[in-house]
Amino acid sequence: MSSKAPKGEEQPPEWPDQILPTKTIPAAQGMNRFVWNLRYNDPVQIPGAFYSGDPPRGPIAMPGAYTVKLTVNGKSQTAPLTLILDPREKSAPGLAAKFALSMQVYQDQDALHRAVNEIRDAKALAAGAHKSHASDRALLAKGDAIANQASGLEDQLMQVNMKGSEANLNFPGKLNEQIYSFAGLLEDADAAPTPEETSTYSGFHSQLASLLSQWNKLKSGDVAQFRAQVQKGGK
């Protein structure tokens, strides 16, 4: 956390008056107060992606011993912090299993979002070539082919038409929206994941692995070659 606002686009809120949690810590002289939401850092976000609630968030930290470190003007201070297991919860191993699954989901969300951002960067590169290399038909044709392939993968990774909470009446949720909803379900209780949850995640993970493999192959092959050609002037 920092007293400086993070760079990048904010996720569009569901309602104009929706109150979003602060992402900065106060830095005024004197007594200050900041409430940690007990979560790991958020995964990388997709600028402009819409979600019916809060944007994808990091998993809730496990009970245990932590250290708070505050750095101001190059000087640091530390203090211990202990998160205690809910006394009503009797299954610490079950909670650990739920946390492990939540971390896997978190890592998949992060990888999916990074892939979509990379895909959009490749599509922007192809679109920009129409201005910078307008006379090079062969190069433009290659860029357009890459953009079409990338769009096909993007459409499977996320619902690009999702602009509001009622959009799913016309447009089905894709893998991104499905994993997002599933991540929320994992916060139902401090207990071990059910067999159904484990099986559902396995299906999502397999789909994502296949799509990421296809994108990585395209990115390291045709996209990399096209980027090099654009940088060399199309030759």
CB–CB of 161/167 below 8 Å?
Answer: yes
Q: For residues 64 and 82, give the distance between their C-alpha atoms in angstroms, rounded to a whole number.
A: 6
**Exposure of 208 in the CB half-sphere (CA atoms within 13 A):** 26
pLDDT tens, residue order, the chain (235 aa): 889 887 765 666 666 676 767 778 988 889 988 888 999 999 999 988 888 778 899 999 999 999 999 999 899 999 999 999 888 877 788 899 999 999 999 999 999 999 999 999 999 999 999 999 999 999 999 999 999 999 999 999 999 998 877 777 788 999 999 999 999 999 988 889 999 999 999 999 999 999 999 999 999 999 999 999 998 875 5
pTM for this prediction:
0.89
Complete domains list, the chain, with CATH: 92-231 (1.20.120)
Helix (H) or strand (E) holding 198: helix 195-218
Residue 11 DSSP one-character state? P
